[in-house]
Chain A
Amino acid sequence: YDSASEIAVAQLSLKSPEKSLSGIRVGIPASFSVQECPNEISESWSLAADLLHQHGAEIIQVSTDDISPRLMQRALAAYYVLVSAEASSNLCRYDGFRYGVAVAEEEVNFNGNSETSDLTPLERQYSASRSFGFGTEVKRRILCGTSVLSSDRFHTYYEAAAKLRAALAEEMHSTLKEKVDLLLVPTVLSLPHKIDQGSLLDPTAMFANDVMTVPASLSGLPALSIPRQTQEPSSTFSYGMQLISS
């Protein structure tokens, strides 16, 4: 059952306001309504709900009992802990030994300093290739991931994040099974930043943009982001809405 394709069909037949979405329950989860959400986006959200309602969908408020705000607030942190951990693990294979970027042997040894003196030659080789080959953001995530997987931190970070993920996924899944067929939430809480501003922004703050998409990722649920026409014709970007289904 693919509810998203039904919506697409509905959009195509926008001209004729038939009740093509009758029988479909669309949920608006209260816990996704975060403080940081600007007014423009809240408005956009309401408008989207109205549009669906016009086409016959039933709009249901999903209370905080069903999807708790407590979990929502920590979802972002959990996500980044888990994602960094997995990234650090998946990227271990890039050592330049069998494929990919590798630093020439002569250069490796030339750069030997006190930091790397207790590494074996192989480790020094890997280190040089990886330092050279990975970009900054990647390195950041690898270091973060390695850290949360280390034995002293695993319990506090990874395990806690995994538990949180399981709890949130449980709530999302049961809401989508019992209460509603779809969830309607914004995709982002801000418009894209300008390219030249990119380096000035705090990388951690950048993560905050993901707060709306993280729950679906963590829960393993399919989500569809739909761009929306903005009111002002002059602006290029619009606030997108997303639909999450089971």
Chain B
Amino acid sequence: TPYKMIIHYQALTRRILTHPRIRRDFSQWSVDSEKGVVCFQGKPRYQTVIGLEIHAQLDISTKLFSGCPVDGNHRGTGCGSTSPTSLSSSSSLSSLFQKPNTSVWPLDVAVPGVLPRLSQEAVQAAVLSAAATKCELPRVSRFERKHYFYADLPLGYQVTQQRWPLAREGRLRCQRSNRGNKKAKPSKKSRMAGDDDNDDSFTVRIERIQLEQDTGKTVIMTNPKTRRKESLVDFNRAGRALIEIVFYPDLRSSVDAATAVETLRSLLKHIGTCSGRMEDGSLRCDLNVSIAPLENMDQEKTSITTQNKDHAIVQHTGNRVEVKNLNSLRQVQLAAEYEAIRQAEAAANGSPTLQETRTFDVKTNQTVTIRTKEVAKDYRFMPEPDLPPLILNEEVFGTPGMDLEGFLESNLPELPEDAQRRLKTSYGLSDYMASVLTGDPPAIELFDTAVHHANRQLTMDRERKKVPETVANLLCNELFALVRELEMQRLIEEGILDGTGETSVRFSRVDGNQLGEVVALVLEGSISNTMAKQLLRVLYEESNELKQFSAREVAQKRGFQLISDSVELAKIAHRVIAENPEEMERYKLGGKFARKITKFLLGKSMAASQGNAHPERLNEVLVEVLEEIAPLSKE
């Protein structure tokens, strides 16, 4: 019965998302989250096929055609600098908190007589987004009108690009996360092109990217006076620039779909064209789910390659169902799985689902039909007569003589996959470290600067070898924590950031040069690791007062210095020896016992010095002291 299935389903929801590969049981049907195979009583019957359509709000200063300024945080394209003062000085909070219908110009509500004027910024942001996804960018694209009547569409049509979109045929390379195995090295197989089942990475093809207008927002509220439900429309969002990214139905599972969305989201954030906040609606995802029957696949037939098999499957895909209103990655995953099973069940019962549009109900984690009678909409696409064709030339790039290549050259930042590769190969960083850094683009710049600076300060190759790792460790473990602790709360309180922002070293008061110096101090043996952490904190907390001093000078002033003085060290050694008489007895036995105990005492001495003893000197002194106190007979 339906009720039984629903309850069973809900109980499983929590588990599914924390454990991969758990199958979703739904009557006798289940779907594998990672592989997307739908099984009946354990036997594979269908393959999930998913296509994504993502709408990303471009993070620019005005709307697409009206010139109406968009409030809230926005940075220019590319990575921001690390200085906190580079934040936009708008005193208002993000557009999330704006009063309805306060950010509206005449064109946005279709006041008669106003004509559209294309924002250059929007084109530039769209072009960068297309280039970051390796799309082809034809020189000319055109705008068209898509007509339908709805309260949130003031013009009665949406200006979009249907037949001649801005970009076509791109791709997105995604990484499947190895849960809990963050330091895992990718297998040799994953280095090969194409997506295999055994792979850590897969590629999703992009069919098109087009520029279009956003609609207003409809909200349903209960009128306190009449007690009736009313739909209210807020036009603040109407006319904002969007890019619609349409993927080919290459995805095969719910987890892959969520991964693809997340990859795109962080890519657009990285290049600065979209803030990527699904909760706010700056990144919206529509899901197209269908299933393809798996014939009795003979598992032994190895002559059929994975790709051919997939192609054969997809040829028989059933009707696709569009699911709208998904506001988080979790919802994307849940909706995909629910749909796969629903469709499989229907198909197996002889009444396969028709093409339809559904919405996702967050309370029940199910998809729900929007209309009982679905009639195919005729949008009556018509070329937009008020706008000229969009030509990617110097006019749109804003610099005389600049062409597309030149524009990308100077404006497209290093892409995450390229940065990840570079950090791993040039610096030998682990996958995990590299991805932490690429997760926060200003961190990459800071890292590069720090490494460069540290190298300049060190003279010995032996020391230089350890620079990248040391910088990465201090950056990821210490600096991020400092920023999170000391910076983020203040910024939120001052209203410069809203609470949904992630920690970024963009706000750090310690820059790459300083970090590099600290690392150099550690590696040349002037300070210990512990001292380095303390030094960083001091530099951070007192950044204003210590501005004119170098890290080295500060270290000296504050007494951060490895204890290298023999007398000091000897004192420590003596004390430790005195505190450990039993171990000393063992030591006197000599041979391997002596070696073990020496190590033990060394550890204890280091601890006694709070990690500030110079390791080699301490070792020498300890050995000397031991020789003095308990000389061993030579064998």
Q: Which residues of A contact B (CB under 8 A)?
A: 85-86, 89, 91-93, 95, 97-99, 118, 122-123, 126, 146, 149-151, 154, 158, 162
Contacts and interface: CB of A to CB of B under 8 A. Distances in A.
B378 interface: yes
Nearest to A130: B149
B380 A146 contact: yes
Contact of B382 (A93, A122, A158): A158
A93 B149 contact: no
B382 A89 contact: yes
19 contacts: A86-B382, A86-B385, A89-B145, A89-B156, A89-B380, A91-B156, A92-B155, A92-B156, A93-B154, A93-B155, A98-B109, A98-B110, A98-B154, A118-B373, A122-B151, A149-B147, A149-B381, A149-B382, A154-B380
Contacts of A162: 383
Contacts of A123: 149
Nearest to B145: A89
Given A92-B147, A123-B149, A150 B156 contact: no
Contacts of B151: 97, 122
Interface in B416-446: none
Interface string B601-631: 0000000000000000000000000000000
Contacts of B111: 99
Contacts of A97: 151
A118 B371 CA distance: 12
B388 to A, nearest CB: 12
B549 interface: no
A149 B385 contact: no
A36 to B, nearest CB: 30
A interface, by DSSP: helix, strand, loop or mixed?
helix
B380 A93 contact: no
A99 B380 CA distance: 25
Interface in B356-397: 373, 378, 380-383, 385
Given A92-B155, A93-B156, 17 more contacts: A85-B382, A86-B385, A89-B147, A89-B156, A89-B157, A91-B156, A93-B110, A93-B112, A93-B154, A93-B155, A95-B156, A97-B151, A98-B154, A149-B380, A149-B381, A149-B382, A150-B378
Contacts of A149: 147, 380-382
B interface, by DSSP: helix, strand, loop or mixed?
loop
Interface string B431-468: 00000000000000000000000000000000000000
Contacts, number: 46
A90 to B, nearest CB: 9
Contacts of A126: 149
Contacts of A99: 111
A97 B153 CA distance: 11
Nearest to B153: A92
Interface string B401-422: 0000000000000000000000
Contacts of B385: 86
Interface string B324-356: 000000000000000000000000000000000
A213 to B, nearest CB: 19
Contacts of B154: 93, 98
Nearest to A121: B231
A89 B150 CA distance: 14
A238 to B, nearest CB: 34
Contacts of A86: 382, 385
Contact of A151 (B110, B156, B157, B378): B378
Nearest to A158: B382
A21 to B, nearest CB: 35
Interface string B44-56: 0000000000000
A86 B384 CA distance: 9
A233 B380 CA distance: 52
A118 B375 CA distance: 11
A150 B381 CA distance: 8
Nearest to A151: B378
B148 to A, nearest CB: 9
10 closest A-B pairs by CB: A92-B156, A149-B380, A93-B110, A151-B378, A93-B156, A93-B155, A98-B109, A149-B382, A150-B378, A89-B382
Contacts of A92: 147, 149, 155-157
Contacts of B156: 89, 91-93, 95
Interface string B93-120: 0000000000000000111100000000
Contacts of B157: 89, 92
A118 B374 CA distance: 12
B401 to A, nearest CB: 29
A151 B162 CA distance: 14
A92 B150 CA distance: 10
Contacts of B149: 92, 95, 122-123, 126
Nearest to A162: B383
Most buried by A among B147, B156, B373: B156
Contacts of A158: 382
A135 B288 CA distance: 43
Contacts of A150: 378, 380
A151 B380 contact: yes
Nearest to B378: A151
B235 to A, nearest CB: 8
B213 to A, nearest CB: 13
